[in-house]
C-alpha cells in the first residue's frame, strides 16, 4: 500500500491515495477521501478500452476534420492515453483539453513501469508534457490541461470550442455529485459538436435523465469483458446532427454502434423512477453533502415510482425468462 498524502505540494482533495491493483494487471488508485477506486476491479486499461475507446469509434476521424476531445477527470490519464494511442492512420489533427483537480494520480501513474509499458513513446510524451507543462503543442496537435474544479475550469475553455468526444469519468454520482449535476451535464452537452458523443461508465437513471433533458440521444453499453454480468456498463450520449453522427453519417448507425445498443424497455422505465431524480447544483458551487441532501428531499416529494418497485417488476420478468440474465443491482 502506498501513501502519497505527504509527497505532493498540490491539492489534497483526494486525500490519501492507495495502490489499487486491477485484474488485468493495470495500475490504479483508491482515494480514501472519496472512498472509491479510480477504476473497476476488472482493470483500468480494459475499462478505458471498453467504455471510452470502443464507443468513440475513432475510425470516423481518419485523416478528416480535427478531433476535439475533453477528458473530464484526467486522473491517471488512462482514457486520454488509450484514445490518443488508438487514433486511426492517417491521424486527425487533435485538440485536447483535460479537467482535473489533483496532479498526483498522473504523477504516480507516470512513475509506474507497468503504466509506462502500456503506451507508445508519443503518448507518454504527451502525458509527461501534461504533468510538466500543463499540455503540449506540435503542428496539428495540441493539448491543454486545466487544473482545478472541473465546474469552474470548463468555462475557461473558449466558448466557441465544440467537442467531438467528452470522456466523463468522475467518481460515482453518490461520491462526487458535483460532476454529475443537471447543470454540469447540461453545460457539457452544450459543448458537444453536432454528432459529438459524451461517453461514461455511468448507467445511473439520474445521469441518463439529465443527459436526455440536455437534448442528447442515449445508448447503452453492454457489460465489458471481465465485468460482473449486468444490464449495462455505461452510456453513450449523442448530440444529433452532423457528419460525425455515425461511421457513415447515417442516423441508423446511431441506433446500434459497434459497442452499444438502444436502451431496453427496462432501462427506459428506470428513467421514470425516483432513481432518475437529478443531482442539482444550481450555482455549480455546492459541496457534495448539500447536493445529496437536496436530491433526497426532491425524491421524497417527487411522486415517481419507487425504484425498488421497478426492480421487483423486472426481477419477476427475469425469473420468467423475459429479459435474460439481468442483474438489477442499482
Ligand atoms: C475516477 S477518477 C478518474 C480516472 C481517470 N479517468 C483515469 O483514467 O485514470 C476521478 C478523478 O476526478 C477527480 N476529481 C474529483 N472531483 C473533481 C472536481 N470537482 N474537479 C476536477 N476533478 C475532480 C479526482 O481527482 C480523480 O482524479
In order, the DSSP letters of 74-103 are -TTSHHHHHHHHT--SSPPPEEEEEEES-S
CB of 286 closer than 6 A to ligand 1?
A: no
Q: pLDDT by residue (tens digit) across 268-324? A: 999 999 999 999 999 999 999 999 999 999 999 999 999 999 999 998 877 765 554
d(CA 172, CA 36): 8
Which residue's CA is minimally distant from atom 5 of ligand 1? 75
For cell 494520480, name the residue: 105
CA distance 144 to 100: 11
| Average model confidence (pLDDT) across the chain | 89
Return the best residue to mutate from 12, 171, 187 for the ligand 1 pocket (most ligand atoms within 8 A of CB): 171
Q: Which atom from ligand 1 is nearest to the alpha carbon of 176?
A: 16
Helix (H) or strand (E) holding 109: helix 104-110
- Ligand 1 proximity of 47 Cβ (cutoff 6 Å): no
Q: How far apart are CA 108 and CA 102, in angstroms?
A: 11
Average pLDDT over residues 107-112: 97
What atom of ligand 1 comes closest to residue 48's alpha carbon?
8
Q: How many CB atoms lie within 10 A of CB 7?
A: 11
The grid coordinates of residue 56 equal: 468513440
Three-class SS of 211-257: HHHCCCEEEEECCCCCCCCCCCCEEEEECCCCCCCCCCCCHHHHHCC
Q: How far is CA 164 from CA 48, 97, 126, 243, 266, in A?
A: 17, 12, 20, 11, 29
The predicted structure's pLDDT at residue 257? 64
Q: What CATH superfamily is the domain 40-264? A: Vaccinia Virus protein VP39 (3.40.50.150)
Take atom 10 of ligand 1 and give the residue whose Cα is closest.
170
* Span from the CA of 311 to the centroid of ligand 1 (angstroms): 30
What is the rounded CA–CA span in Å between residue 188 and residue 170?
Answer: 13
d(CA 237, CA 191): 13
Q: What percent of the chain has pLDDT above 70?
A: 86
Q: Which residue, by CA, sits nearest to atom 22 of ligand 1?
A: 100
Report the C-alpha gap between 200 and 221 in whole angstroms. Answer: 9
Listed by start position, the domains of the chain span 40-264
Residue 171 CA, closest ligand 1 atom number: 1
24 CA to centre of ligand 1 in angstroms: 21
Dump pLDDT digits (tens) for 38-87.
998 889 999 999 999 999 999 999 977 789 999 999 999 999 999 999 99
* Sequence-ordered list of residues with C-beta below 8 angstroms from that of 297, at least 6 positions apart, any chain: none
Contacts of 107 (CB under 8 A, 6+ apart): 8, 131
CA pair distance 30, 20, nearest whole angstrom: 6
If you measure from the C-alpha of residue 74 to the centroid of ligand 1, how many angstroms do you get, rounded to a whole number?
6
Distance from the CA of 145 to the center of ligand 1, in angstroms?
13
Q: Is the CB of 150 under 6 A from ligand 1?
A: yes
From the CB of 79, is ligand 1 less than 6 Å away? yes
Instruction: Report the share of the chain in percent with pLDDT over 90.
Output: 77
DSSP 8-class letter at 52: I
The Cα 191–Cα 154 span in angstroms is: 10
Q: How far, in Å, is the centroid of ligand 1 from the Cα of 207?
A: 17
Amino acid at each position: 500500500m502506498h501513501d502519497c498524502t505527504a509527497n505532493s505540494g498540490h491539492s489534497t482533495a483526494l486525500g490519501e491515495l492507495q495502490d489499487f491493483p486491477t485484474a488485468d494487471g493495470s495500475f490504479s488508485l483508491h482515494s480514501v477521501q472519496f472512498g472509491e477506486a479510480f477504476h473497476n476491479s476488472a482493470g483500468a486499461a480494459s475499462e478505458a478500452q471498453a467504455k471510452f475507446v470502443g464507443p468513440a469509434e475513432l475510425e470516423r476521424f481518419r485523416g478528416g476534420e480535427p478531433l476535439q476531445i475533453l477528458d473530464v477527470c484526467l486522473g491517471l490519464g488512462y482514457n486520454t492515453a488509450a484514445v490518443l494511442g488508438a487514433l486511426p492512420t492517417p491521424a486527425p489533427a487533435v485538440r485536447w483539453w483535460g479537467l482535473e483537480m489533483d496532479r498526483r494520480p498522473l504523477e504516480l501513474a507516470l512513475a509506474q513501469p507497468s503504466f509506462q509499458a502500456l503506451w507508445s513513446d508519443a503518448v507518454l510524451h504527451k502525458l509527461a508534457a501534461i504533468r510538466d507543462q500543463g499540455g503540449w503543442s506540435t503542428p496539428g496537435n495540441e493539448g491543454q490541461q486545466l487544473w482545478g474544479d472541473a465546474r469552474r475550469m470548463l468555462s475557461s475553455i473558449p466558448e466557441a470550442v465544440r467537442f467531438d468526444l467528452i470522456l466523463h469519468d468522475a467518481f460515482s454520482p453518490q461520491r462526487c455529485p458535483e460532476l454529475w449535476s443537471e447543470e454540469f451535464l447540461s453545460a457539457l452537452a452544450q459543448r458537444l459538436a453536432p454528432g459529438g458523443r459524451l461517453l461514461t461508465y455511468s448507467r445511473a437513471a439520474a445521469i441518463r435523465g439529465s443527459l436526455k433533458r440536455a437534448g442528447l440521444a442515449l445508448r447503452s453499453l453492454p457489460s465489458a469483458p471481465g465485468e460482473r454480468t449486468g444490464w449495462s456498463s455505461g452510456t453513450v450520449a449523442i448530440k444529433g446532427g452532423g457528419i460525425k453522427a455515425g461511421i457513415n453519417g447515417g442516423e441508423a448507425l446511431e441506433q446500434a454502434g459497434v459497442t452499444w445498443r438502444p436502451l431496453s424497455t427496462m432501462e427506459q422505465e428506470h428513467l421514470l423512477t425516483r432513481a432518475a431524480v437529478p443531482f442539482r447544483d444550481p450555482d455549480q458551487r455546492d459541496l457534495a453533502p448539500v447536493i445529496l441532501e437536496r436530491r433526497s428531499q426532491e425524491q421524497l416529494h417527487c411522486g415517481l415510482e419507487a425504484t425498488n418497485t421497478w426492480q421487483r417488476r423486472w426481477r419477476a420478468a427475469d425469473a420468467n425468462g423475459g429479459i435474460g440474465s439481468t442483474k438489477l443491482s442499482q
